[in-house]
Structure formats: C-alpha cells, structure tokens
Chains A and B, each alone.
Chain A
C-alpha cells in the first residue's frame, strides 16, 4: 500500500461488515485480527442465541443486533446501510466463520483504488483455497455458469462472501433476498448498476466449522426457488 493510500485509508473510512449468527466459537479472534489492522468492524448479530454479540463488542466491533434471525442477506444489507450512515468510503463484506483472511482486505481496497472500479469481488479460483471438498467445487462451478447465464457477468467465482465496494457501489445495492440467494441477487444488482468491477485473488481456508455452516445441494435448490419467485412480484 502506498503512503498516499494509507493516508486516505486511515481515519476509519473503511468498514468491514460481518454478518454473524451463533458464531461465538470463532468470532472473537477474527474481529481482533481485523481491528488490529486499523479497520472499523460492524458485526450484524443476526439474532444469535449465544454470546456472539458480547464477544464481538469486547473484541472492538460495533454491534448491530437484529431482534430475531432474518438471514445472511438481510444482515449484510443492514451492515451496508449502517456503514453508509457512518460515512464509509469503502465497505468490505467478510464471512464470520473464519474462512476468509483479514490479510486479503487491503488487496481488495487497493484494487478499488487502483482500478477505479466500484466493486472488488474476491475469487478463490484466481487465488487459492485450502480443503475445498470436491462436491463444493462442483456446486460453485454450477453457480458460476448460472450467474453468467443470468447476469452476463463473466466471473471466476460467484459465491464468495469476501468483497469490497466503494460508497457509490454500496449505495446501489439493495438486497431483498434475506437468506442465501442474496449472493446471486447482489451480482444481478452489480450487473444492473453498470458500474465497473474487478476480481481479486483471495484465499479461502475451509475448516470443518466453516463447511458445517456452508451451503449444500438442497440450499442451491432453495436459492433457485427464491430467485425465481422474486421475479413474480414487486
């Protein structure tokens, strides 16, 4: 990162938005690592039954709490709204399950600053992934083809929760899909916005914990249903 950029990035204008539901087991060290890097963290506690909110608060995050569980898409939209209200210049979405690396955040921000794109989308297929099961790889490939067909975006990775956006880019996002279909909806909105985007290589570390929290084949059927049904009403 150059001195100029560092100067611009200091001062808390970068908000890391993390949607969390019952992540007490892992959330503390993740937030501490990000806060140590001088980023501001907004945890959207999505109606957790455990101590996610308290742990996040103690680790240095700002905690925005949904009274009940609404889903990851709803939580991310809440985080984006909150960060925009706090005058964020850049917003980064980051998973709570520990599969993303905080060291990838500056790479995403730099990509936005260097390319003047509105969105920097993390790609595990341009970067690397550790411990990805074969079934998950197949599912992701199917998602990539689906996204290309629906949005026209030629991306190498479509369901990666690690992404960054400028203030202008974030203000064009308005997620209505509360649950897992939000990732596809977000790409549809990026395509519809006409704003430029870049892909950035990132690393994904699959753990038993993150795989248990991740999506399966049944979820992909639900996602397809949710996306189709949304087209039927305003």
Chain B
C-alpha cells in the first residue's frame, strides 16, 4: 500500500506537470498524461497489469509499471529538450536584434 501511494503521488505530479506544459507542447503533454494515467491504473489494479503484461509478453505486472515509468521519464526528457530549444530561440532573437543594430558598412572609397 505504501508503494502504491508513493507511486500515485509521483504520477499525480507528472499529470500536473503535463497539464502546465499543455499550452507550450501539447503533444508531449498528452503523451505524458496518457502514460501517467496508465501508470495510475496499473498501480491500483496490479492484477490487470499482470494480465496485460502476460498478454504482451513482458512477464510480470510490476515490470509493466516500471516500463511505463521509463516511458514517462523519456517523455519528460524530450520535454526538457524542447525547453532548451525554446531558450535557444529566445537567445537567437536577442542576438539578432543586437547584430542588426550594430551593422557595419565600409566608408565609400571615392
């Protein structure tokens, strides 16, 4: 029960995080929400996890939950990458303004 509650709190945090990211990266947010929902479902219904795990050839239900957690981690990693790209875009805009404002032209030789 303690593990279930701990996992649920973590997954709930993932869902809240996904919700806050929805406006900026909707695809990532939806993927994270789906994965977290699946995680919550299997944490509280482990027999379903075991049945599904056997069906898809994973073995144990707990392994399925770990796999889902790995998927969530990868999605969040991708989201971090997207945030870095957004930061890079902002830096580019800033540098562009600086560069255009400091354009140099040689004095005419004539």
Contact = CB atoms under 8 A, between A and B. Distances in A.
Contacts of B23: 234
B25 A234 contact: yes
Interface residues of A, number: 29
A74 B105 CA distance: 21
B42 to A, nearest CB: 26
Nearest to B89: A176
Interface residues of B, number: 23
B104 A62 contact: yes
Contacts of A53: 104
B27 A77 contact: no
A124 to B, nearest CB: 29
Interface string A27-49: 00000000000000010100000
Interface stretch (B2-10, B53-61, B62-70, B95-103): B95-103
A78 interface: yes
Q: Among B81, B104, B105, which residue has the most Cβ atoms of chain A within 10 A?
A: B104
Contacts of B96: 66, 74, 77-78, 81
A64 B103 CA distance: 5
A63 to B, nearest CB: 5
Contacts of A206: none
A65 B103 CA distance: 7
Nearest to A226: B85
Interface in A73-101: 74, 77-78, 81-82, 85
Contact of A58 (B27, B95, B103, B106): B106
A176 B89 CA distance: 7
A231 B98 CA distance: 28
A232 B24 CA distance: 9
- Top 3 A-B residue pairs of the complex, sorted by shortest distance between their CB atoms: A233-B25, A233-B82, A62-B105
